[in-house]
Structure 1
Amino acid sequence: MSIVVQKFGGTSVADAQRIMAAARRIVATKRQGHQVVAVVSARGEKTDELVDLARSISAHPRPREMDMLLSTGEQESVALVAMAVHELGEDAVSLTGAQIGILTDSTFTKARIRKITTERIRAALEAGKIVIAAGFQGVDEDSNITTLGRGGSDTTATALAAVLEADVCEIYTDVEGIFTTDPRAVKKARKMDRISYDEMLELTSLGGGKMHSRSIEFAKKYRVPLLVRPSFSDGEGTLIAPQLDAEAPVVSGIALVKKEAIVHLRNIPDRPGVLAIVFHCMASRRIPIDMVIQDIAEGGVANVSFTVPQDDLADTLTAANEAAERLGAGDVGSSTNLAKLSVVGAGMRTHTGVAAHLFQSLAEANVSIRMITTSEIKISVLVNRDQSQEALEAVHSGFSLHLDQSPQPRIGFKQIDPERQRAGVSRDELEQDVVRRLQSMEDIVVSDVQLDTAQSRITVKNVADRPGVAAEVFKAVAEGGVMVDMIVQNVGQDQRADLSFTVPRPDLERCLLLMRELLEPWPETSLHFDKDIALLAVIGIGLRSHTGVGEKMFTALAESGINIQMVNTSETRISVVVGTAEAEKAFATLNRVFHKQGR
């Protein structure tokens, strides 16, 4: 019999009426012929209420007692939901984290799962009962109650779905599903039927979506389909599941982050170790730097620019000046009132012209681009904040995201992905594997290191800062059928820009011919290229918020004597260009530093 895990957040069980509504969903799923495990969070504002109560008694409550207190929120919820299920005529049993069999370490308020046993859950399911499981909590070896920290109920649900080999994990929330962009900002935003794990990770890192990014990454590891559904209507929601690139939309969603600031470090030395110092100064103040660009060095000096939340600008300037002082060179500058617009789509891996389409949409709205960064499935641009709403609407319309897509096939309850079948793997082995992977995910941010030695770089110097220039460049490239990987643009003090991008080495000559033809009417520009470069990337979730990853990466490369020619970042990737002669050494260095991550 198929197993369905359902997770209900706090708003879904906020009061008696909503608890009964959740119970009706649970019972309906059971009566469709499935075994059901419902993971439940604390009701509504219950956790905040308990935190405020604790702080009214003690300014510094002990973490063990906070876990003892906060865990009561879920205990209350599961008991009430079980009572509601009983009222509807089905048998149910409510279980705390300890009763489920979730054993953790003793790191109170952010415990890590060490063991999951499922005997009690399976016995209840086989007896025909619905299991109502408390999210967010476990128990340590000394029988102390522990909590799992931010996103803990999502972690409980996805971990149980993986270890039980559930057919689907349904996430009930207060929205209809995942939208192409924020429907409050764009009225024509459309709910998506389906989105891939990687796309959802990018959007969640940008502040979109309704799930914790670590839970999505964990579901991806075990190919657990996640179905984000509305709690208060009968909508089918959005399926987060494996998707072939050939079936994926070129662009799935758009995110807008306002209140960004940019900091420039100009005229710094071009030598190994420079970026390690810059990132160390930022990480020591826990400043979450975002879009990072290092232009191609010229005359022994380089320029680095990066964005930060505008509220962090003062601390960032202090750190930047400290870095310049330690380097013995460099001028610090900044700009405010900026916004970051990002388009995300798995189809970018296999389609040319996405960048050109994006830049053309912005040009038609007369929006100037200040910076450009890219990842494998995302392009981000920095624009003036007063143009950000126009930019969002123009790009959403430009990619026709408001139009209905043809229906995508869902993963049904009986259609388990063949890759999720584990023939010959015992239940204990599966449970141990789930816990091992969960621990490695919680311990380390970076999941992979990649190297591409078959790239070339093209740079157009002294480009005019006006709407449409980038669109013209990448339209020409797309018409030539050339796939572009890394794109870097940074506008200088003189309102001129250098625009660099990488292409597969076999396409270099064709791309240069296209560029020479395009640039002929632009006598102020100059064209440069490097035939042999290597593209090195570290990949993981939450890189922006984990400020030490960049420092660790650049320190390791500096200690190996490797000079970095270009830098480009996103929420889930830090990419650098190095010389091909240093590529294998750089790759080995980063694999050694992050050798246990995601392996």
Structure 2
Amino acid sequence: MSLIVQKFGGTSVADTEKIRAAARRAIRAQKQGHRVVMVVSAMGKQTDVLLKLAAGVCERPPAREMDMLLSTGEQTSVALVAMAIHDLGSKAVSLTGGQIGMKTDNSFSKARIRSIDTRRIERLLEEGNIVVAAGFQGIDDDLNITTLGRGGSDTTAVALAAVLGADACEINTDVDGVYTTDPRLLPEARRVDVISYDEMLELASLGAGVMHSRSIEFAKKFSVPIHVRSSFGDRDGTMIVAQAESESAAVSGAALTKDEARVTVLGVPDVPGMSRTIFNAIAAQKIAVDMVVQNVGAEGKADVSFTVAGDELDQTLRAVESIVDSIDASGVTHDAEVSKVSVVGLGMADQKAVAAKMFRALADAGVNIQMITTSEIKISALVPREQSAAALRAVHEGFTLDQRPADAKTWKEIKAEAAVEADVHDVVSRLQNDALEALTLTDIAFVGGQARVTLDGVLDQVGIAADVFEEIGQAGIFIDMIVQGFDGEDGRTSVSFTTDEANLEASIKVAEQICEKHAMRGVRGSAGITKLSVSGIGLRSHTQVGTVLFDQLAEAKINVEMIATSELQVNVVIDSAQADTATRRLKAAFADALN
């Protein structure tokens, strides 16, 4: 008999009528022949009420006691849902996180799942019960109640689906699927039938509120098909699986991260170990860094720019300013009024001129680009916050995301394919171990035979990036990494890109023409570089990845020339002569995480 995990968020169980509706949906699935596990969040604004209560009695509540308090929200919900199922004539048993066998570490408020003992759930299912499990929570080795942090109920649902070998995991929420962008920001956003794990991971990390990235990491790791649908209707929704909706479309979605802050460390000595010092200081404060841009140094100095969440700017500045003198940097600048607009798509890895198309769309909308970073399936640009809405609309229209691609797969086609895939991976999805949420790296590899071209003294004005990469594209040059840093000293910056060594001469020729046209300072180019990539699942949530990478390179006295990051990869450019040493050291350092 097939098994379905159904997750219901807070808005889906916000009152008694919605609780009964959720109960009816679970009963209907059971009557269709499925075994059913429900994962339920706290009712509506219940968590906010509990937080307010805590603030009323204690200015700084202990993390352990906050987890004890907040876990009661889900316990209330699961009991009420189970009661509703009984009242509607079916059998149900409600269970807390500890009772479903979810063991976590002891990181209160942001615990990670170590293992799930499914024996009790399986016994209750065999007895004909609908199991109603509390999301968001577990227990540690000392039986303390722990919570999983933001998106914890999604994570619970997908983790249970993985270890139970579920045929699908349904995420029932207040929206009817995944859209090409947030429909609250752009009403013309289109619901997609299908989106890949990788695309959804990038969009989730960019602030797409449908699902949290940790739950997508679980789904990708254990090949769990996710079905996102509305709690309040029967529309098909969106399937999140391994493949993309379309093979021809370069871009599948756009996202806006509105509350960003940019920090630039100026005049960093261009020698090994500097990136390690900077990012170790930030990591020590438990601050997650988003865009990271290190451009090619000039005259022995380089600028390192990165973004953080707006509410972490002050703490970040304190951390960075504490090490500026020790690394002999010339200073720190910041901007608290910036936003990040991004496009994501599996198809862009194989198509030319995607970046140029994005930059032209922004230029035509009068949007200035302050920073650029790229990966195989994502391009992000930092823009002034006052232009963020226009930027999102521009890229969404530029890639005609409101229109369904001609070769788009249907929901039913993907559902059938996903069912086959889940069966193939049945053994894997039932794995039980002590680190279900452990970092999983899929590859540590390098791409040699690369060249780099840098345009110095690029004016900070609308349309420059579009002109640069349109002309490069017209010359038939395929670009890999693109990095545009930020230079607040004279209103100019530098833009670097990598390409095959065979394209170096042609690239320099085009770059010199661009340089003359736009009155830039000059062009630099060099061969003999390698892009070193660490790829995997959980790179953002496991913040030690960057720290270990920079530590290993610094200890081997390997200088980092360029940096670009994404949800799925950390990319650095180094001298080709050091590629073998770097790869060997990283594989040894990450041996336990390599898949």
By the TM > 0.5 criterion, same fold? yes
Residue of structure 1 in register with 2:423 after alignment: 421
Render the CA deviation track for 1:193-216: whole Å, top value 9, x for unaligned.
Answer: 221111111111111132221111
| 1:463 maps to 2:458 | yes
Render the CA deviation track for 1:432-491: whole Å, top value 9, x for unaligned.
Answer: x243451414xx8x7653322232212223333332222222223333444322101135
Render the CA deviation track for 1:74-125: whole Å, top value 9, x for unaligned.
Answer: 3332232223223333333333334433345566555554443334433443
| 1:528 maps to 2:529 | no
Q: What number of residue pairs does the alignment pair up?
A: 592
Is the partner of 2:325 in helix, strand or coil? Answer: helix
- Asked if 2 retains the 8 angstrom alpha-carbon contact of 1:206 and 1:257, the reply is yes
CA RMSD of aligned residues (A): 3.1
| 1:409 maps to 2:417 | no
Q: Matched residues in 2 for 1:331 and 1:412: separation?
A: 52
- Asked if 2 retains the 8 angstrom alpha-carbon contact of 1:543 and 1:571, the reply is yes
Equivalent residue letter for 1:528: R
Render the CA deviation track for 1:388-438: whole Å, top value 9, x for unaligned.
Answer: 22222111111111223455233666654545435895xxx864x243451
Residue of structure 1 in register with 2:135 after alignment: 135
CA change 1:315–1:404 in 2 (3 A) is same
- Asked if 1 retains the 8 angstrom alpha-carbon contact of 2:246 and 2:405, the reply is no
Residue of structure 2 in register with 1:174 after alignment: 174
1:1-20 maps to which residues of 2 (within 5 A)?
1-20=1-20
Residue of structure 2 in register with 1:438 after alignment: 436
1:567-586 maps to which residues of 2 (within 5 A)?
567-586=563-582
- In the alignment, which of 554, 571, 595 is matched to residue 550 of structure 2? 554
- In the alignment, which of 446, 460, 463 is matched to residue 451 of structure 1? 446
CA apart distance, 1:334 = 3.3
Q: Matched residues in 2 for 1:542 and 1:526: separation?
A: 39
Q: Matched residues in 1 for 2:15 and 2:172: separation?
A: 15
Residue of structure 1 in register with 2:240 after alignment: 240
Range moving further from structure 2, 330-339 or 395-404: 330-339
Q: Matched residues in 1 for 2:224 and 2:508: separation?
A: 45
CA change 1:137–1:389 in 2 (3 A) is closer
- Asked if 2 retains the 8 angstrom alpha-carbon contact of 1:104 and 1:111, the reply is yes
Normalised by the size of structure 1, how large is the TM-score? 0.89
Q: Matched residues in 2 for 1:503 and 1:559: separation?
A: 28
CA apart distance, 1:349 = 1.1
CA change 1:289–1:155 in 2 (3 A) is closer
CA change 1:38–1:414 in 2 (3 A) is farther
CA change 1:248–1:81 in 2 (3 A) is farther
Q: Matched residues in 1 for 2:334 and 2:133: separation?
A: 50
Q: Matched residues in 1 for 2:66 and 2:517: separation?
A: 68
CA apart distance, 1:52 = 4.2
**Identity in percent:** 50
Q: Matched residues in 1 for 2:334 and 2:100: separation?
A: 53
1:214-253 maps to which residues of 2 (within 5 A)?
214-243=214-243, 247=247, 249-253=249-253
Residue of structure 2 in register with 1:591 after alignment: 587
- Asked if 2 retains the 8 angstrom alpha-carbon contact of 1:276 and 1:554, the reply is yes
Q: Matched residues in 2 for 1:75 and 1:315: separation?
A: 35
Unaligned runs of 5+ in 1: none
Residue of structure 2 in register with 1:479 after alignment: 474
Render the CA deviation track for 1:146-199: whole Å, top value 9, x for unaligned.
Answer: 544443322221122112221210011122222222222222222222211111
CA apart distance, 1:226 = 0.8
CA apart distance, 1:361 = 0.6
CA apart distance, 1:7 = 0.5
Render the CA deviation track for 1:1-55: whole Å, top value 9, x for unaligned.
Answer: 2221110112211211001111121122223332222111222233343444455
| 1:351 maps to 2:377 | no
CA apart distance, 1:598 = 4.8
Residue of structure 2 in register with 1:330 after alignment: 330
1:202-217 maps to which residues of 2 (within 5 A)?
202-217=202-217
CA apart distance, 1:132 = 2.1
- Asked if 1 retains the 8 angstrom alpha-carbon contact of 2:195 and 2:245, the reply is no
Range moving further from structure 2, 223-232 or 128-137: 128-137
CA change 1:12–1:348 in 2 (3 A) is same
- Asked if 1 retains the 8 angstrom alpha-carbon contact of 2:564 and 2:570, the reply is yes
Equivalent residue letter for 1:555: D
Equivalent residue letter for 2:556: S
- Asked if 2 retains the 8 angstrom alpha-carbon contact of 1:167 and 1:414, the reply is no
CA change 1:415–1:289 in 2 (3 A) is closer
